[in-house]
Structure 1
Amino acid sequence: MSTRRQFLQTSMLLGAAGAAPGLLASPTSASGARVVSTWDFGVGANQAAWKVLAAGGNALDAVEAGARWAESELCNHTVGRCGNPDRDGVLSLDASIMAGDGRCGSVAALSDILHPVSVARRVMEQTPHVMLVGEGAQQFAVQQGFERQQLLTPEAEKAWREWLKTEHYAPQINAERRGRPGDKDNHDTLGMLAIDANGQMAGACTTSGMAWKLHGRVGDSPIIGAGLYVDNEVGAATASGVGEEMIRNAASFLVVELMRQGLSPADACREAIGRVVRKRPEASRTLQVCFLALNRHGEVGAYALHRGFVYAVCDAKRQDALLDSSSVYSSTQT
């Protein structure tokens, strides 16, 4: 049962959020291609995706290319081959991909396959299903010609063995910084959204999930509607942070539906954050939730619970823009 203190705290937080300045909303023409991604490593992912868009390619190919860059070229503790393992020392990967016409595919708890986003696309295109998980996902990947390989790096294994000394598990709020793309830090999911020159939209997510998680834990990234949702009629949204909160709120679907009701991408993200705060005001002090949205006109917006979320934008005019998101809390020290 909510206490009066919780009610007042939530009201103040949402009031502050409502008074916060708007985010980037840089409109392009409906035919203008653009790609946006979460976090500073989104700059590199965007550039990989932009090569496809600049050549006249489609949004679906572009987001797959960007996610593949993150899975193999980036060496980050929370995405792809350099990710930290679960509490049992197993590195498992999650990914999803979605086209603006509703086609989608995902994989979860996938081990020993370098490019989960491409396996997710095969699920979308080669099966009647949306999601495959665990051993079944790996079996499908091998049948589709993907090579099994050991992905756990010596560095990640060393970090896991250090963690075993205490076995203390607690999600951490990502610290505020403006680092170099690809820096190794406590940043998580790559979420990517794109619109191509024909006005078609697509999105992709890829992650190694939370370090030291329970074996078998799956976050929001491979769950359509939670970590990713795309609709050509409206726009697209993706999420980053503690995946359980995205799942509880069907977060990315919510952001798209708020845009359908007429909200800008920035306002839709802010309202979605507000719902997280209203439902769990005390928990919101200790976790990070971030949303990024792109509407069908090319307008971009983002919002986060805590300061520190940055997102990358790439189009014909800007190749490496990195922008700070507004947030409910102005400090990571809560």
Structure 2
Amino acid sequence: MCSPLPLLILRLLLLTHPSLGRHLRHRESRKIHSVVVSTWNYTDANLQAWSVLKQGPRRTRQAVIQGCLACQNLRCGRLLGGSYGPDERGNLSLEAAIMDGRNQKFGAVAGMEGIRNAILVAEAVLQHTHHSLLVGKGATDFARVMGYKEEHAVNLNTKNVIGNWTFARCQPNFWRDVVPPPRTQCGPYSPLPQYLLQRPMRQEYPITQGEHDQLAFLALDSEGLIHVASYSSGARFRLRGRVGDSAVPGAGIYADNEVGGAIASGDGDVLMHHLPAFLAVEAMRAGQSPAKAAAKVIQRVLKHNTEFNGAVIAVNRWGTYAAACAGMDEFHFVVSGGKGFLRMARVERVKCQDRKDVVDGGPKGFFTRKPMKNRKIE
């Protein structure tokens, strides 16, 4: 039988030194809670990432990679499936990135045509080169060197998407200050004369549930290791050669084991202006909670882009997480693990900030159609 003496001594210490009890309770509350967080409501991809993470420590990289790989089919929507997100010339390309929270090393590819496993190629950039980002044909060539087979991805679905878009006078598109007017006609385009240039206006990329072209993952294990990753089929009807936020460090993803990590989703061109994932991590470094950090980042973006549609999820080094958003009724994201939860791959929702609470007036873009509100998920 164990002696009661050590227990009696501990009780006496707690009675005579209340601060010791507070210290012990604080240490208990600072336990790291393993978690996998992903943007939007694709539970299957999140669950696959979690199934890797729960196998043991130091599997955060494999976890976020597995999450991205799970979306290379229609389980994560048509656009991420591969054949429904062509550029304006009908070409299909992918981009992906991965970041290691231990040292902020980053590997990414963008505008990569003909290679399906973009996230694996991004990891190869991280592991086998001194570079951070490869694009276009160079990324495809590198993938072939790494042993990935080139595929002819354009199919009947892609051709139908481009055909319908052309029939609709190439709406929406990403041109401005050109002739003929891009809001009513297809190109080829030429620059407007200098004296006819208009005030720059931003047409935000509309977000519709189930029609997302980007997905991001964050994995934190019990040892405090963090990896983040992002995978994207690219904005539909983009100009050929466009690089999105998935491939830019700090825009779509960022991680630092000493602080935490963040993932973002929305109009990639706006996200690249502000680097919201990086800003959220730095806000937490300055002492802000994940909830306050995410909210502040969204407010900052809105001040410069009044019609912004998107979201940021911040996770601190202990596994506490929070999200903030704008441009939708609410933002959906998926979580496995975390403090006090037993149900995995649960869809969580956060109400988006009202623009009127952040900005009064300001420049507004021209909309061919208004951003669609989120449909209820069954």
Which band: TM-score by shorter chain?
0.7 to 0.9
Q: Which residue of 2 aligns with 1:290?
A: 311
Match of 2:257 among 229, 232, 241: 232
Q: Which residue of 1 aligns with 2:188?
A: none
Match of 1:167 among 156, 166, 170: 170
Secondary structure of 2:141 counterpart: helix
Q: Identity percentage over the alignment?
A: 33
Q: Which residue of 1 aligns with 2:130?
A: 128
Superposition TM-score, scaled by structure 2 size: 0.74
Match of 2:331 among 306, 309, 313: 309
1:36 aligns with 2:51: no
Superposition TM-score, scaled by structure 1 size: 0.83
Taking the TM superposition and a 5 Å limit, the aligned residue runs for 1:1-334 are 30-41=31-42, 43-57=43-57, 58-72=59-73, 74=75, 76-101=77-102, 102-165=104-167, 166-170=169-173, 171-175=204-208, 185-281=210-306, 284=307, 287-306=308-327, 307-315=329-337, 317-329=342-354
Secondary structure of 2:322 counterpart: strand
1:83 Cα shift? 3.8
Aligned CA RMSD, in angstroms, stands at 2.1
What is the CA–CA distance in structure 1 between the aligned matches of 2:241 and 2:165, rounded to whole Å? 18
Range moving further from structure 2, 150-159 or 310-319: 150-159
1:303 aligned partner, one-letter code: A
What is the CA–CA distance in structure 2 between the aligned matches of 1:329 and 1:152, rounded to whole Å? 40
Structure 1 residues 155-195: Cα deviation after superposition (integer angstroms, max 9, x where no partner): 232112110111112554324x6xxxxxxx32231010010
* Structure 2 alignment gaps of length 5 or more: 1-27, 174-203, 356-369, 374-378
Is contact 1:200-1:232 (8 Å) kept? Answer: yes
Is contact 2:217-2:229 (8 Å) kept? Answer: yes
Is contact 2:259-2:285 (8 Å) kept? Answer: yes
Secondary structure of 2:115 counterpart: coil
What is the CA–CA distance in structure 1 between the aligned matches of 2:94 and 2:342, rounded to whole Å? 34
Is contact 1:225-1:251 (8 Å) kept? Answer: yes
Secondary structure of 2:264 counterpart: strand
Structure 1 residues 243-274: Cα deviation after superposition (integer angstroms, max 9, x where no partner): 11111112111111011111111211110111
Structure 1 residues 28-85: Cα deviation after superposition (integer angstroms, max 9, x where no partner): 86443210000012x1111111111111151111101111111246352332424410
Secondary structure of 1:217 counterpart: coil
Secondary structure of 1:325 counterpart: strand
Is contact 1:226-1:252 (8 Å) kept? Answer: yes
